Structure 1
Amino acid sequence: MAPVKVSANGSNGRTNDENEENDTVDLKNLLLQESDLFLSSLDSEAYLDSLAPIITEALKANALAEFISKLNDYVKGKDAELNQKSLDSATDINTCIDSIDQVSIQSHELSGSLLKVNSFLKQSTLGLIEKKSKLLKAKETERAITETSLVLNLCIQVLEITNKIHELIKQRRYFSALKLIDELTSIHLPKVSNFSFSVKIYDSIPHLTSMIKEEALDNLCKWLLTQVERKIDDIGDKISLSLEATQNDWASKREGSVLLMPHRLNSAVEMSMRDADLNFNVFESSELNITLGPVFDCLLVYQSLGELPILCAAYHKEWMKKYQRIIYPMTLSLSAREKLAFFKETKVSFPDLISLESYLRKIAALFVVDKQLNSQTKFELRSNASADDLWESFANKLKPVLINFLETEEWTMDNLSQLVDFKDLLGNFLQTMENSQYKTSELYDILIIVLRDYYGPLLIQQFRFEFIQSIQSDHYMPSVVTNKNMYDEIMKICWYKSESSFAPKNIKGFPVSFPFSEDYLRYCINIRQLLKDLIDFTSDYYSQDLAELNRIIVNDIFEKCLGDTPGFGICHDMKTFITKNANNKEIVAQSYTNLEYYLYSLYEIGKLIDKRLRFSNGIGIINIDTNSTFKLKAIELFTSVRKFSEDAIFQMVDQKVHELLELLQYEDWTPASANTGPSGDIEEFAVFLDNLFNSIFSNLPSSFRTLGLFRSFDFISEYFLSELNNAPRFNRNAIINLDLDVKHLEESMASLVSTDSQGDGALQSTFAELRQSIDLLLLDNYDEFYKDPTFRMRRFDRLKYDLALKLLKKMQREEVDDVVSITENTLTREGSILSGSAAKFANWGKFRKSDT
């Protein structure tokens, strides 16, 4: 307990009485509290230690007497309580003694029971030991049985695996069987190696492995037979359908596109734009249902055994057998000697296109399967290089066969469609090969041969045949249209100069007359059709060496078709036709007019060919600058034919005029009297001449008409001048008659050229010498002619002086003879000068004639 603090004066700020009273109360309370503590601790062994501080505090508080008194009371109370408890505990002790007696009795009984239990436990322990011994023996037996069972299970498992291997071999699951063999030898057999049967099984492993190899290879060979060789027709059909779908897809994308049109199927552009679904895979086709299990199984077997090179050699050998059977199906029934002869024979052919198509489809299927199978097997069995080598070898054999097929067929216009089918068939075959990355340049040459040597010549002959028919059936008169629809059609078809009289801008109404005849219209239609046929023929499959392709189209077809090669060129045919009809003025004249348009069309055809080839093939005609224009070589040939037709017209006119002149008879050069007008023969001659010129030159250009008339006038003038010069003698009446006839001719001819001022000058030039000869002979006096050189130069500049003297000598007048005899000496002295001047002007006149 904590000590009570007291102030120094003993009162702590209070009075002594109050302090004393308060101290008594506090001490009492304290003793009471401490007494409770004391009392509570009397039962404790350390009660003295607890009591000491209480007594000390009581002493300090001067309350020890009270504390002792209370303590005595407490002790008395406790003694009384103890006595009471002692009396009570005696009863309890007696009761306990009775209970102990009962316990003792029960204890003796329990000891007997324990002895019995102990005896029973001893007996149980002995039984348990016996049973445990039996248990241990049973466990040993069980362990032996378990070990035996385990060994038996291992043996059974080995046998089951061995049977499973045989079953897998029967099921053609060779790789699985091989894996089980590996598992059997590495895991299961070592566990049962003490048994004799395991030794036998182990010894059979090499045989099983060899059997798996052989049967896996045999199964692969059967797969090639059943899934490739026997399905080769179906595979070819599916590849053909896939190609057709790809072609149609590309044609729809390419149609009307300037950028895509030059690019053929299998080009880099086409392949980059091709839908992946269009790439046909033989082994993914549900319809063909060709599984690659046997191939992969065999491949895995040989890979696992490390004998892949052996498999590749065997596979190559088997593949070559299938190849030989497919590429030479017609040789299966031949003997060995016949086969050898057949293989050496290059001229193998097919009876028709159907058999050839079936054959090429098989070939395509074989080579497509070759590469796709290589790809599927990761080139483990066969490389693409081997496939390419085989293809090149086959292509070298196929090329002469296809050429022989072309050569044995008789290609005409009647079976031209079959030639197109042959081209399509070969083109499809080559596109199939290209799609599998095979080189096709060797067989592509046949496409070029088809175009250059067969299709082109047939088109040339067809064009030439229609052209000859056209020129032979033409009416050779200008074409006339009576309605706008027909006019518009002709304007779309034919080529013409924009300033032509029949051009749309110059048309005011109908009917409209064209200078050319119908054969030019047919020519325009046919030449456009010829170009269209060639573009259509080459637009799908001709994809290599486009410059050479353009050269063939231009040089070997168009130039040859338009050229002058006999039997091919229409230029030669036209020249021949003009030659045969040289006397037909309508044909010759209209041909000359038509040739003007033919010639102009060639310039436009050259542009059109270049444009169409550039659109179709991506390149125009080679060796042409961007600013230059391609010109056909046929232009020069047609120019020469036009000149030939011009000469033919002139020759025909000259012949007609000559025939008319032969009808004139100037035999009487000394008539007794002069005529009052032109003779009847001259009048008829003038009428025939007028009809001739109008019929021939009416539709010809004015320049040509002028030239033709000038030539005829010159020819007529020379004829009359020749007649006059060749007459032995003549009198004045004959000259007057001649003058009347010539004037009539001059007047009639002048009417033919009245619309051309140049023609009038040409007329005067051609008749100048004849007119001056007549005027000279009609002079009343020749003295001035002889004596006055100025007079001669002024009025008779076209006459040579010596020829004029000869004419004057023939004139039946005495004074003429006298004058001539007198002037002969003068002529000797002055003739050189005079005749030189006359010759000069005469030569000028001849120059004028030759110049015109």
Structure 2
Amino acid sequence: MDQEALLSDEFQKTLLTSATSSVSSSFLTNKERKEKLLLSKNKKTGNISNEDIEKVLGDSLDTQLFDKWVPFLRETIENDQLDVVVDELQSSTEDNFQGLELQLLRDFQVTNKLTESIGEVTNIQGTIEQQLTVQMQDFQNKLSSSSNDLIMKKQVFVNNKKTSLKISEAIILITKVLRILELSSKCQELITEKSFFKALQNLDNLEKLYLQEFKNYNFGFLKEIYDSIPFLKKVVKDECINLIRNSFNINLGKNLEDVGNSIFDCYEKQLLPQWLQLKEKMDFNIFKFNSPVEISLRDQEVLSTIALDNFFHLDEFHDAIMIFETLNQTPYLLSEFTKEYEFRKSKVIFPLVWKKTVNNINITASDIERDAFTKALTLPFLKSYLLRILAFLMYDICLNRATDFILVGSNYNATNEFWEGLLNRLGPYLSYAMNKLLNTEEELIDFKNFLSVYVAIVENFNLSIAPLYNILLSIFQKYCNLSMESFREEFRILLDDDDFMPLTIEDRTLFNKVIKICWLKRDEHERLTEEVSALEAAGSDFSITLPFSPLYPMTCTLAKKIYSKLTLFISVFYGHNLQYLSNMLIKTMDVIFNDIVNQQIKSKLDSKSREEIAQILINLDYFIIASKEFSLMMTNTNILQNPDIEIKLSSIKHYIESRKYAETKLIELIDSKISDILDTVEFDWSSTQLRHEPDISIIDVAQFLEMMFASTLVNLPYSIQTLLIFREFDSLTRKVLDVLLHETPSSLTQESVSNFEIDVNYLQGIIPRIFPSLSPTTSDLHSAPGTPNPNASDRQAALLENNMKSLEETFIELNQCIELLKTKSYSEYSNPEIRMKKFSRIKPEDANILLGKVRSSTPESDDNMDSKSILGSARSSTPSNDSSGNTNRLAKLFGR
């Protein structure tokens, strides 16, 4: 309404603006304008156009002014407001032209024209109204017709739109149906292609699509497809289990031995030779195969060839785990897997019965012998069997790692538990095989090498090796036992073949070998080398006599050979329980040196041959040296590589005991021989003839002693020779003295005493002839072990002199008795000063016996003293001189 008023006001302003300029100039009468308007109707359309209005009004109005009216008039007509405009124009004329009435009245012409214009305007209004009414009616008809058409078309459009929407919905529905059909078909294809996880994903999509889109539709075929989903899922589960079974068939079939052989050959034929070469090149003797050092230096390219992924393919297990986790049926998978896997395990370890017993408590030796496994047990079978087990262990490790231990309930020790259980079951059979099948050193070495490489592989995969390593220790123990028995047999042959004579060597090469293999006394090697050099310088034939018999160097050779064999046996492998191995080595060598060598040598001491016992004594002296040196060698090369360890064979003590026993036996033999010879000596105590030569029987005794110490006992150690000399001369003088005191008649002639003195002096005279044959070695003269003595020759001479003086002292008591017999007087003995100078060793009771024997035959006229009083005086004034005097002399000798 405001807009209409605004247009009216604008139109009024336009009229007012143009009124003053056009009122007096051109006004047609209404009749004239109406006629012109009617005449200007369009004959075709019957409507009055803008141009017609301009022509009619243009005669009385200024064209430019009328141009301003046209838009308003046209708009008024189009808006069907012409009546309103006319009314407003009239009102405006009344309001705006009141002041002009007088002027217009005054202007007659204007008045007339105005009057006529009003009529004409009225006519024009009527004409226009009539025309507009016709047009409006026509427009309404056309509008009604158009509206009807529009309604009809809209109805058609709505119908078409509904149809189109239904078609779109149908298309979408069909597309979804096709999607379901496609998913169903794809599931079938994937199941056929064994892509079960993808098939399960498609089944899930199919189920979700049906439940979201077609749950409320009654499509029978779709419901059948939906109802088939559980069946298809069951098919997927069953096929997954079948794939696992097929995977077991592929991975746990005949190829297990090939896998085991491949892994074992890689270690045995590639890694081990490479290590042995590197060990020799880099001087890595202290490091064993499979030690951290060896593992760090392995060729990684070689190891890559035995990566477990190269042998086993486990994609089926990954799919199965994902599938059953998606189905929330992992426990079912684990249950089925466990049952199938236990069945496979029992097949792998066949003919060993896996579930026969949990432990070996109920297994007896007879059970083992009757067992099917034992009946098939040979070394090739056992190796093949263990390699098959090794491959299965590798498969189990690979499977558990690849599946993140899901299939074993996150038991990270599952493989080791199976392995330990199997070893517990297999242990008695391995022990049986070791005892029954490994009977030679070659078989022991071969199986040791196999089992050691096997243990190295198992250890590298962090599996238990204790039971197998105990078998290796038992193999080494059996090897030690076989070595000891071999040594025992060879030593017995050597001992039986030994001549118990000093070893004479006439070949320089052989001499060098003997010197190199034997352990000698201190400085003896140097002395022998000097002796050889002297022979070569003199151009003499090579001939060296060694104190020991051939038994000693041969035994040293055997002992070193056995020790080398034993250390070589454990040098490459055996990286654990080194203390046990060391103790086993020590025990073995102790058995060899004591239970075999010492005991068999000791059994020879029952011989009645002085030469044989003397040679055994010499050999034992060298075996003591060998035991000590062997202990030192074992200390320096101990397998513990501990510089602080000290090994001392117990056989040293036993050799020393055997040497003492040999000394005793030799002394007993010599004593028996001397006693036998002395039994043949007959002293003529009633003789009245003086002799200037000793009795022939005394000469025999002297010659026997000279010969024995110059030949039979010449190779004995100096200390032993000295001991024997002192012992025998002490025994000799004591027996002779005993004869003089207790086996002589009650009266003795002075001639017989003189003859007895000649015999005793002859025996005493052989001492200088015996001792020069003894030549103490430098080691006997050293002030400290291993310390050279620059005055050795001087000390040697002094030692010989002192020994001879000490030995001559054994005759003092006998000589004093002879001197007492020659005096025939109690007076000298009863005089303390004379007695202490001449008869200090004679006991009063012995002096009384002796003086009684000579006085009874030749009374002393100028001596009237009572013998009893003299005897009592001698007892009160003479120091006690019992038999301990000789013992003290021996102690003094060995104390120097």
**Quick check: TM above 0.5?**
yes
Residue of structure 2 equivalent to 1:573: 600
1:792 Cα shift? Answer: 3.0
Residue of structure 2 aligned with 1:795, choices 835, 838, 849: 838
Residue of structure 2 equivalent to 1:778: 822
Amino acid at match of 1:356: L
1:828 Cα shift? Answer: 5.7
Cα distance in 2 between the residues matched to 1:559 and 1:807: 58
Normalising by structure 1, we get a TM-score of 0.73
Cα distance in 2 between the residues matched to 1:221 and 1:681: 106
Pair 1:354-2:384 in alignment? no
Contact kept? 1:547, 1:619, Cα under 8 Å? no
What pairs with 1:424-439 in structure 2 (closer than 5 Å)?
424-439=449-464
1:371 Cα shift? Answer: 0.6
Residue of structure 2 equivalent to 1:178: 200
Amino acid at match of 2:843: K
Instruction: Give the secondary-structure state (helix, strand or coil) at the position aligned to 2:235.
Output: helix
Residue of structure 2 equivalent to 1:238: 262
Q: Deviations over 1:29-84 (max 9, x none)?
A: xxxxxxxxxxxxxxxxxxxxxxxxxxxxxxxxxxxxxxxxxxxxxxxxxxxxxxxx
Pair 1:533-2:565 in alignment? yes
Q: Deviations over 1:597-651 (max 9, x none)?
A: 322233322232122225xx4445xxx36xxx54333322222222222222222
Instruction: Give the secondary-structure state (helix, strand or coil) at the position aligned to 1:239.
Output: helix
Contact kept? 1:151, 1:192, Cα under 8 Å? no
1:768 Cα shift? Answer: 1.7
Pair 1:366-2:366 in alignment? no
What pairs with 1:786-825 in structure 2 (closer than 5 Å)?
786=829, 788-811=831-854, 814-816=857-859, 822-825=865-868
Residue of structure 1 aligned with 2:273, choices 248, 265, 270: 248
Cα distance in 1 between the residues matched to 2:602 and 2:549: 17
Amino acid at match of 1:475: D
Contact kept? 1:296, 1:377, Cα under 8 Å? yes
**Residues 372 and 611 of structure 1: CA distance in aligned 2, closer, same or farther (over 3 Å):** farther
Pair 1:297-2:302 in alignment? no
1:843 Cα shift? Answer: 5.8
1:653 Cα shift? Answer: 1.7
Cα distance in 1 between the residues matched to 2:210 and 2:299: 54
Cα distance in 2 between the residues matched to 1:317 and 1:673: 119
Q: Deviations over 1:691-728 (max 9, x none)?
A: 22223321123332222111111111122211121212
Normalising by structure 2, we get a TM-score of 0.69
Contact kept? 2:614, 2:712, Cα under 8 Å? yes
Contact kept? 2:830, 2:871, Cα under 8 Å? no
Cα distance in 2 between the residues matched to 1:696 and 1:432: 63
Contact kept? 2:266, 2:302, Cα under 8 Å? yes
Pair 1:165-2:187 in alignment? yes
Contact kept? 1:232, 1:365, Cα under 8 Å? yes
Contact kept? 1:232, 1:362, Cα under 8 Å? yes
Contact kept? 1:494, 1:524, Cα under 8 Å? yes
Q: Runs of 5+ in structure 2 lacking a partner?
A: 1-158, 537-541, 774-799
Residue-pair matches, total: 688
Residue of structure 2 aligned with 1:733, choices 751, 754, 766: 751
1:329 Cα shift? Answer: 1.8
1:782 Cα shift? Answer: 2.8
Residue of structure 1 aligned with 2:241, choices 217, 221, 228: 217
**Residues 182 and 501 of structure 1: CA distance in aligned 2, closer, same or farther (over 3 Å):** closer
Amino acid at match of 2:813: E
Cα distance in 2 between the residues matched to 1:610 and 1:493: 18
Pair 1:664-2:681 in alignment? yes
Cα distance in 2 between the residues matched to 1:502 and 1:342: 63
Residue of structure 1 equivalent to 2:702: 686
Pair 1:747-2:768 in alignment? no
Residue of structure 1 equivalent to 2:329: 307
**Greater alpha carbon shift after TM alignment, 161-170 vs 542-551:** 161-170
Instruction: Give the secondary-structure state (helix, strand or coil) at the position aligned to 1:613.
Output: coil
1:209 Cα shift? Answer: 0.7
**Residues 365 and 803 of structure 1: CA distance in aligned 2, closer, same or farther (over 3 Å):** same
1:762 Cα shift? Answer: 2.9
Residue of structure 1 aligned with 2:406, choices 377, 380, 388: 380
Cα distance in 2 between the residues matched to 1:705 and 1:293: 88
Residue of structure 2 aligned with 1:401, choices 429, 446, 462: 429
Amino acid at match of 1:559: D
Residue of structure 1 equivalent to 2:670: 653
Residue of structure 2 equivalent to 1:610: 635
What pairs with 1:39-78 in structure 2 (closer than 5 Å)?
none
1:210 Cα shift? Answer: 0.9
Contact kept? 1:546, 1:619, Cα under 8 Å? no
1:200 Cα shift? Answer: 0.7
Amino acid at match of 1:596: D
Pair 1:769-2:813 in alignment? yes
Instruction: Give the secondary-structure state (helix, strand or coil) at the position aligned to 1:745.
Output: helix
Pair 1:635-2:658 in alignment? no
1:159 Cα shift? Answer: 4.5
1:318 Cα shift? Answer: 1.9
Cα distance in 2 between the residues matched to 1:644 and 1:845: 22
Instruction: Give the secondary-structure state (helix, strand or coil) at the position aligned to 1:475.
Output: coil
Pair 1:423-2:448 in alignment? yes
Contact kept? 1:808, 1:816, Cα under 8 Å? no
Q: Deviations over 1:309-356 (max 9, x none)?
A: 332332223222222222242559xxx9x8999995365363332222
Contact kept? 1:589, 1:649, Cα under 8 Å? yes
Cα distance in 2 between the residues matched to 1:673 and 1:504: 54
Pair 1:559-2:600 in alignment? no
Residue of structure 2 aligned with 1:486, choices 482, 492, 510: 510
1:523 Cα shift? Answer: 2.4
Cα distance in 2 between the residues matched to 1:698 and 1:547: 45
Residue of structure 2 equivalent to 1:721: 737
1:212 Cα shift? Answer: 0.8
Cα distance in 1 between the residues matched to 2:240 and 2:485: 62
Instruction: Give the secondary-structure state (helix, strand or coil) at the position aligned to 1:279.
Output: helix
**Residues 659 and 325 of structure 1: CA distance in aligned 2, closer, same or farther (over 3 Å):** farther
Amino acid at match of 1:440: I
Cα distance in 2 between the residues matched to 1:659 and 1:596: 29
Residue of structure 1 equivalent to 2:224: 200
Cα distance in 2 between the residues matched to 1:318 and 1:572: 63
Contact kept? 1:158, 1:184, Cα under 8 Å? yes
Amino acid at match of 1:777: L
**Residues 701 and 230 of structure 1: CA distance in aligned 2, closer, same or farther (over 3 Å):** closer
**Residues 784 and 674 of structure 1: CA distance in aligned 2, closer, same or farther (over 3 Å):** same
Residue of structure 2 equivalent to 1:122: none
**Residues 793 and 357 of structure 1: CA distance in aligned 2, closer, same or farther (over 3 Å):** same
Pair 1:389-2:417 in alignment? yes
1:302 Cα shift? Answer: 1.9
Q: Between the two proteins, what is the percent identity of the paired residues?
A: 25
Cα distance in 2 between the residues matched to 1:185 and 1:539: 69
**Residues 293 and 840 of structure 1: CA distance in aligned 2, closer, same or farther (over 3 Å):** closer
Cα distance in 2 between the residues matched to 1:727 and 1:504: 52
Amino acid at match of 1:585: R
**Greater alpha carbon shift after TM alignment, 717-726 vs 590-599:** 590-599
Cα distance in 1 between the residues matched to 2:462 and 2:358: 32
Q: Deviations over 1:72-115 (max 9, x none)?
A: xxxxxxxxxxxxxxxxxxxxxxxxxxxxxxxxxxxxxxxxxxxx
1:213 Cα shift? Answer: 0.7
Residue of structure 1 equivalent to 2:13: none
Contact kept? 1:717, 1:766, Cα under 8 Å? yes
